[in-house]
Amino acid sequence: MYRIGAPELKRVQKIFERGEIFRYGHAGECDKFEKDWGARTGSKYVRMVTSGTAAIYCALVGMKVGPGDEVIVPSCTYMATALAVLAAGAIPIVADIDESITLSAKDFERRISSATKAVIPVHMWGLPCDMKGIMRVARKHKILVLEDACQAVGGGYDGKMLGSIGHAGAFSFNFYKNMSSGEGGAYVTNNKKVFDRASVASDCCSYYWNPEDHREEEQFAGLNYRATEISGAILNAQLQRIDGMLEKMQGHKMQLLKVGAGAGLKSIVNNSLEYECGTHLGFIFPTEEEARKFAKGLNKRKVRGFLPIDTGRHVYTRWDPILRKQGAHHPSMNPYNFKENKKLKVKYSLDMCQDSLDILNRAVLISMHPDNTQARVREIGTAIRESASAEE
């Protein structure tokens, strides 16, 4: 979490004073956030849910993704992206990333089969995907695009807000995100049919709280991922903070990219520097040994640098339930056992995305923070220069 304090506390206190903790029965904080988030992202329809994972799952259901479908996901993303695909009854297909540390449009196209229904480009660590390339491939093959912007809240790409470029978008508001209510999420879309189905998935009684939602043909057995007014209140306050924070981090990243270039370092590919979140600066090296040497130098100088390969469940080789095809708590509910999915014959292996492992082993990321002073940014710059030339 970057910043939280009096503005959030004040909004939450007013909720307790009114006794309106539940989101329905009044025009409240959740309604306000959904309206404002829709305006910010350019999305007609927004629904708050309990997590980013829930947002991805509900959006997939809204897009009618299910058994018999394959959904392409990048090899570098939090495991929940792929787990949400399984929750919808479909099968995740893992594709390589490129040197932007996000989904490769080229490998996305290579992994397409006759069963491919959707793709989930993930804007990892606030780094936008090559959305022009991905959308071009998706249009060519008539594939649905669900943007996972869970780690890029508030960021943009080429003048458009992340999450609004594809057919739907998903966001996370957990503790580690640019805006946080501790835990939470939202999905957005401009397609009312997608939104209506996703709304049933996110609230099994959506038609009860909202009589206009009553559609017998779509009142399937949904689940409950309803957000609370407390989450809405916190996010309404957080929304007032985000622009200033992103502007600072973007500026610091630009400044440090110049330092890195001056030190002879090669940046990772940045697909939309002018509009992205600016939460992470990245460099890529010829070998893993050089990357680890640089990261060690940074950490020695009290600047956190890390190799993406070391981030556990963000790398497909650590997605144990998927690699073992344990897609549900009961064999009869495991999508890998569904007759509709038997024909897909998906095979997973630790080396199925070797290009990704090579990139993740050679990249070093450095986190930005909106509270960094110019003095601290200069310290980071010094650490980058010294680590780039260090002999240790």
Q: What is the pLDDT of residue 161?
A: 98
CB 133 within 8 A of CB 95: no
Q: State how far the Cα of 333 lies from the Cα of 344, in Å rounded to an integer.
A: 17
Instruction: List, in sequence order, every beta strand (DSSP E) within the chain.
Output: 45-49, 70-74, 91-95, 116-119, 144-148, 156-157, 160-161, 168-172, 185-189, 266-267, 280-284, 305-306, 363-367
* Residue 103 resides in a domain: yes
Nearest by Cα to 80 from 1, 170, 164, 162? 170
Residues 74 and 117 in one domain: yes
Q: State how far the Cα of 187 lies from the Cα of 124, in Å rounded to an integer.
A: 17
Residues 117 and 141 in one domain: yes
Residues 90 and 229 in one domain: yes
* Residue 339 resides in a domain: no
Q: What is the pLDDT of residue 391?
A: 60
Please give the tally of structural domains in the chain: 2
CATH number of the domain to which 300 belongs: 3.90.1150.10
Residues 247 and 279 in one domain: yes
* Residue 342 resides in a domain: no
Residues 237 and 247 in one domain: no
Q: What is the pLDDT of residue 255?
A: 98
Please name the residues in contact with 95: beta carbons below 8 A apart, sequence gap of 6 or more: 72, 73, 74, 75, 103, 104, 107, 108, 110, 111, 353
Q: State how far the Cα of 144 lies from the Cα of 168, in Å rounded to an integer.
A: 9
Residues 30 and 135 in one domain: yes
Q: What is the pLDDT of residue 264?
A: 97
CB 356 within 8 A of CB 97: yes
Range of the domain at 59: 6-241+322-334
Q: What is the pLDDT of residue 1?
A: 84
Q: What is the pLDDT of residue 92?
A: 98
Residues 246 and 142 in one domain: no
DSSP string, 278-294: --EEEEE-SSHHHHHHH
Residues 248 and 153 in one domain: no
- Dihedrals phi, psi of 280, to nearest 5 degrees: -140, 135
**Rounded to 5 degrees, what angle do the CA atoms 239, 244, 249 make?**
115
Per-residue model confidence as pLDDT tens for the chain (392 residues): 899 999 999 999 999 999 999 998 888 999 999 999 999 999 999 999 999 999 999 999 999 999 999 999 999 999 999 999 999 999 999 999 999 999 999 999 999 999 999 999 999 999 999 999 999 999 999 999 999 999 999 999 999 999 999 999 999 999 999 999 999 999 999 999 999 999 999 998 877 777 776 677 778 888 999 999 999 999 999 999 999 999 999 999 999 999 999 999 999 999 999 999 999 999 999 999 999 999 999 999 999 999 999 999 999 999 999 999 999 999 999 999 999 999 998 999 999 999 999 999 999 999 999 999 999 999 999 999 999 997 65
CATH number of the domain to which 154 belongs: 3.40.640.10
Residues 96 and 199 in one domain: yes
Structure tokens at 334: 């495991």
* Residue 41 resides in a domain: yes
Residues 169 and 298 in one domain: no
* Residue 340 resides in a domain: no
Q: What is the pLDDT of residue 209?
A: 75
CB 62 within 8 A of CB 189: yes
* Residue 71 resides in a domain: yes
Whether the pTM exceeds 0.85: the reply is: yes
* Residue 1 resides in a domain: no
* Residue 64 resides in a domain: yes
Q: State how far the Cα of 296 lies from the Cα of 351, in Å rounded to an integer.
A: 27
Residues 231 and 247 in one domain: no
Residues 188 and 92 in one domain: yes
